[in-house]
Amino acid sequence: MKKTIKSLLLCGLVALASNAYAQVTIPTASGDLKLRIMGRTNLDAGIFVGEDGNDRDGVAMNDTRLGVQANFDENYAAKIEICFSDKAISFRDLWVSYNLDTNKTLKFGNFFMPYGSKILGLAYKFVEDAPVDYTFCPSRKVGFAYEYSSDFMNITAGLFSDGNVDARGTNKGYNISAKTVVRPVLTEEKVLHFGAAPLFTKSHNAISIKGIAPVTFATPQQTVVSSAAMDAKSQFRYEVEALYINKRFLWETHFMGTKIDLYGAENYKAMGVFTQMSWHLIGTQQKYNKKTGLVANAAPKTLELLMRADYLDLVGVKHGTTDGEQLDLTLGLNYFFSKYLNFKFNYVYAAKKNADHFNAIQGRLQFSF
């Protein structure tokens, strides 16, 4: 309890500092240097009810982040973000970008590859990421990327290492990743976009595929389905997505899959799909960023109702897969008090085929600036 109170007091001090010094401009000979302080912390609580009747509940405050974003010399930008989690400090974003013109950007450093929804930040819309997104989306990697954006489309392509900035030792693997988004409809009230992303990985590390329970407070993290560790020559992942916005309504779906080329064994395959809907019961219309091709958080004073269905199938049962099908259903309710403070409430049902299932209720108070 004392640690929680201290953490809350620290968050309050950070909040006061952020409101007072959120952005600083320093004049230089080649142009102004603009620094923006940013950060986030979450307070999570919930109850987990398993089929065996073994109920668990908990409170977690395990992901606090602090960073700085800089814009300088007219066309340059940089970001540094650190994370305190599980009693350790690590880097998250650590990159520099250069604008070739208003539509084209080069980016180098440690950041997400153009694949999946993790680039949107922790737990997009819901308290936890969709298990399919968690299963197939890699973490941040060190590399460089080319980004192009216009009213009609976004194109991102890059070459990345097989490790991130915190990796130890020598990394001999690499990733080649690309994503294209096209928008046949883009107005103030309506958006329709389609996207596709291939990702090729050459790595000397063993690969395992697993689906987790979309809950925060279960310790250790609850694994629902998983494969054995596999000695792989290479891995190919793919994603197809669609998104539609009509005023206060949002619908999107993502289909993901992988094919793993193994030494001395038949190739392993797995796939998954998740779809979600969102309605603003109170507030303005859904927000969309055409430069990134991503959805943004709702405006202050918005009450948002959400639904998500997630299905994961580890079809490579010949390679030690345990109960290879997982289904998750989540209902959510979000309220955005201000630009800096929001609350998320989720009910989760998750099950694996012909095996256990569980229910969970959890909430998150998130402060960010």
Q: How far apart are alpha carbons 158 and 103 in whole angstroms?
A: 17
Counting Cβ atoms within 10 Å, is residue 126 exposed (0-12), middle (13-18) or buried (19+)?
buried
pLDDT, tens digit (0-9, with 9 covering 90-100), for 291-312 = 888 888 889 999 999 999 999 9
Tell me, what's the pLDDT at 272?
94
pLDDT, greater one: 28 or 78: 78
Phi, psi of 356 (to 5 degrees): -65, 155
19 closest CA partner among 294, 271, 281, 340: 340
Which residues have C-beta within 8 Å of that of residue 335, sequence separation ≥ 6? 302, 303, 304, 342, 343
pLDDT band at 129 (very low <50, low <70, confident <90, very high): confident
Q: How far apart are alpha carbons 13 and 103 in whole angstroms?
A: 39
- Identify the bridge partners of residue 90 per DSSP, sorted by sequence position: 83
pLDDT, tens digit (0-9, with 9 covering 90-100), for 81-105 = 998 877 788 888 999 999 999 999 9
Torsion, Cα of 115, 116, 117, 122 (10° steps): -90
Tell me, what's the pLDDT at 3?
44
Q: Which of 32-46, 104-118, 121-135, 198-212 shows the lowest per-residue confidence on average (mean pLDDT)?
A: 121-135
**pTM of this prediction?**
0.85
Cα–Cα distance list, 275 to 193, 216, 225, 311 (Å): 15, 21, 20, 9
Average pLDDT over residues 22-31: 62
- In the DSSP assignment, the letter for residue 6 is H
Tell me, what's the pLDDT at 29?
61
pLDDT, tens digit (0-9, with 9 covering 90-100), for 194-237 = 999 999 999 877 888 888 777 776 554 567 777 777 888 899 99
Q: Which of 115-129, 133-147, 312-326, 346-360 has the highest mean pLDDT?
A: 133-147
- In the DSSP assignment, the letter for residue 247 is T
pLDDT, greater one: 159 or 209: 159
Displacement of CA 241 from its chain's centroid (Å):
15
Phi, psi of 21 (to 5 degrees): -130, 35
Residue length of the chain: 369
Cβ atoms 312, 214 nearer than 8 A: no
Give me the chain's average pLDDT, please.
Answer: 83
Cβ atoms 91, 110 nearer than 8 A: yes
Handedness of CA 328, 119, 341, 339 (dihedral sign): negative
pLDDT band at 240 (very low <50, low <70, confident <90, very high): very high
Residue 302 half-sphere exposure toward CB, CA atoms < 13 A: 26
